[in-house]
């Protein structure tokens, strides 16, 4: 028989989470969930696979044609591994329309797949917090989105100067490109894709595209002025009176009154996905070593209606775990590995059953306990337990079993006591 040697590497662009990494993962996700619940959002879950049409309708050409993991299942159905949550959660809202009381606030933490070139902060399998409000067409929803984006960051202990929230509005983009400049909507669409790429492509390539889509030099100058405008908390004066800018004017004026001073207008912020219809937003690390967005989203009023129900307006965003992790690590906000709350019960002299019985008693009292039955030297066993960051050990040997009293040792200071099982429970609680 030929000997097989399998690779230990994970699938390209997908990440393994050994326990120490999973602990950090859980720390981040716990913070997200706690904050989402504080704003009144409820958790949901959805399948990993969807019919491909769910994304083909509105997610955009790049995501659907180049990045989706799509295949034909054994029953001949065209399916996709979810590349994002927004179309799926819109499907859920359409399906549950008669059961939900609107406005409904929903969140989930889930994994997604996109066939992208893996690099720092970009993976093929990645995790997102999705957080969306459905059925609120007031400006509260837009303001809440920006506030949520801020609080998700602030709850990590991040200071405002560590990150930026950038805002724009799809209606305003159309008002400038189609309304003011008179571009055909197809040309305007391609121009938005170019503006979105401004900082990711070579300056000559950007200039060439700009001249192609926007031939009038005064329009090019105007666009460059808008792109270069960076007064925090304000809109360029040339845009402030546009009716389509009023949501932004309002949100930018309200945020400082909530203590949020790191939000700014960015005409270059387009967002790659096609379904946005109003305010759009992204969160960035101010540390240039982590240039990819930590999260993004906006208003998308047209998705739920695609599922054959009366349209339901929606506002929401997603934070990505990888860039969020890089942000926290880069700013020293991820805690060191935490102590292990488990108690190690060491069976000595072959006293396995009494050790298991004691562990059972501790667990029944809500204390995590693992039994160590190995026959190695005691100092080796204690070393291994300390390496696991376990702080307490109980020795169960012949002498202890006879007397009914067990040695509880605090491994941090090596203090120890002879205690009855009930006293061990009381001491550990």
Q: Which of residues 270-299 bind ligand HAM (CB under 6 A)?
A: 273, 293-297
Residue in 80, 81, 104, 83 with CA at minimum distance from that of residue 92: 104
Dist CA 345 CA 408 (whole Å): 9
Compute the C-alpha angle 171/174/175, nearest 5°.
85
- By DSSP bridging, strand 340-347 and strand 390-396 are parallel
236/330 with CB nearer ligand HAM: 330
**Stretch 6-65 residues interacting with ligand HAM (CB under 6 A):** none
* Nearer CB in complex with ligand HAM: 150/406: 150
Of residues 98 through 137, those in contact with ligand HAM by CB under 6 A are 114, 116, 122-123, 126, 128, 130, 132
Smallest gap from residue 189 Cβ to ligand HAM (A): 18
Rank residues 116 and 151 by Cβ distance to ligand HAM and give the closer one: 116
Residue 189: how many CB atoms within 10 A of its CB? 17
- Choices 177-185, 194-202, 314-322, 419-427 (CB under 6 A): range interacting with ligand HAM: 314-322
CB of 271 to ligand HAM, least distance (A): 6
Q: Which long-range contacts (CB under 8 A, 24 or more apart) does 94-102 make?
A: 94/304, 94/305, 94/306, 94/307, 94/308, 94/309, 94/312, 95/307, 97/304, 97/309, 97/310, 97/312, 100/134, 100/135, 102/134, 102/135, 102/136, 102/312
Residue closer to ligand HAM (CB basis): 323 or 407: 323
CB of 153 to ligand HAM, least distance (A): 12
Would you give the DSSP letter of residue 129?
Answer: E
The only residue of 79, 152, 313, 318 in contact with ligand HAM, by rule CB under 6 A: 318
Which window, 84-92, 103-111, 239-247, 421-429, contacts ligand HAM (CB under 6 A)? 84-92
DSSP assigned state of 343:
E
**Nearest-approach distance from CB 233 to ligand HAM, in angstroms:** 22
CB 226 within 8 Å of CB 267:
yes
**Smallest gap from residue 268 Cβ to ligand HAM (A):** 15
Of 127 and 267, which has the nearer Cβ to ligand HAM? 127
Provide, rounded to whole angstroms, the least separation between the CB of residue 282 and ligand HAM. 7
Q: Closest-CB residue for ligand HAM?
A: 320
Measure CA of the first residue to CA of the last residue in the chain; give whole Å: 55
Q: Which of residues 131-170 bind ligand HAM (CB under 6 A)?
A: 132
User: Using the rule CB under 6 A, is 247 a contact of ligand HAM?
Assistant: no
Residue 189 CA to residue 196 CA, distance in Å, equals 11
Provide Rg for the chain, Cα atoms.
Answer: 28
Q: Which residues bind ligand HAM (CB under 6 A)?
A: 84-86, 114, 116, 122-123, 126, 128, 130, 132, 273, 293-297, 300, 316-318, 320, 322-323
């Amino acid at each position: 028989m030929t000997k097989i040697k399998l690779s230990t590497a994970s699938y390209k662009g997908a990440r393994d989470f050994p326990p120490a990494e999973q602990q950090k993962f859980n720390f981040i996700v716990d913070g997200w969930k706690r904050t989402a619940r504080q704003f009144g959002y409820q958790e949901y879950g959805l399948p990993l696979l969807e019919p491909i049409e769910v994304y083909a309708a509105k997610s955009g050409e790049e995501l659907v044609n180049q990045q989706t993991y799509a295949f034909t299942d054994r029953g001949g159905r065209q399916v996709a591994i979810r590349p994002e949550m927004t179309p799926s959660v819109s499907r859920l809202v359409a399906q549950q329309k008669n059961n939900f009381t609107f406005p409904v606030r929903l969140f989930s933490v889930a994994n997604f797949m996109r066939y992208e070139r893996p690099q720092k902060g970009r993976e093929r399998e990645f995790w997102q917090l999705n957080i969306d409000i459905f059925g609120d067409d007031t400006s509260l929803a837009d303001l809440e989105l920006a506030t949520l984006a801020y609080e998700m960051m602030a709850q990590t202990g991040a200071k405002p100067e560590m990150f930026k929230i950038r805002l724009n509005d799809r209606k305003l983009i159309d008002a400038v490109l189609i309304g003011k400049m008179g571009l055909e909507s197809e040309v305007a669409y391609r121009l938005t894709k170019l503006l979105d790429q401004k900082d990711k492509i070579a300056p000559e390539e950007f200039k060439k595209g700009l001249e192609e889509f926007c031939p009038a030099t005064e329009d090019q100058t105007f666009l460059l002025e808008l792109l270069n405008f960076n007064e925090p908390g304000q809109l360029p004066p040339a845009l402030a009176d546009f009716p389509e800018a009023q949501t932004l004017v309002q949100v930018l004026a309200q945020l400082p009154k909530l203590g949020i001073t790191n939000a700014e207008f960015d005409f270059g912020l387009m967002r790659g996905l096609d379904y946005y219809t109003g305010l759009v937003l992204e969160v960035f690390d101010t540390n240039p070593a982590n240039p990819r967005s930590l999260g993004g989203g906006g208003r998308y009023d047209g998705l739920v209606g695609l599922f054959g129900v009366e349209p339901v307006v929606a506002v929401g965003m997603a934070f990505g775990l990888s860039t969020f992790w890089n942000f926290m690590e880069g700013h020293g906000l991820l805690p060191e590995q935490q102590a292990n709350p488990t108690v190690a019960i060491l069976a000595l002299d072959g006293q396995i059953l009494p050790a298991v019985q004691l562990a059972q008693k501790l667990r029944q009292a809500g204390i995590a306990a693992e039994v160590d039955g190995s026959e190695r030297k005691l100092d080796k066993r204690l070393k291994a337990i300390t390496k696991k960051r376990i702080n307490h050990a109980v020795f169960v040997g012949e002498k202890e079993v006879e007397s009914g009293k067990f040695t509880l040792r605090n491994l941090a200071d090596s203090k120890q006591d002879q205690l009855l099982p009930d006293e061990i429970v009381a001491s550990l609680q």
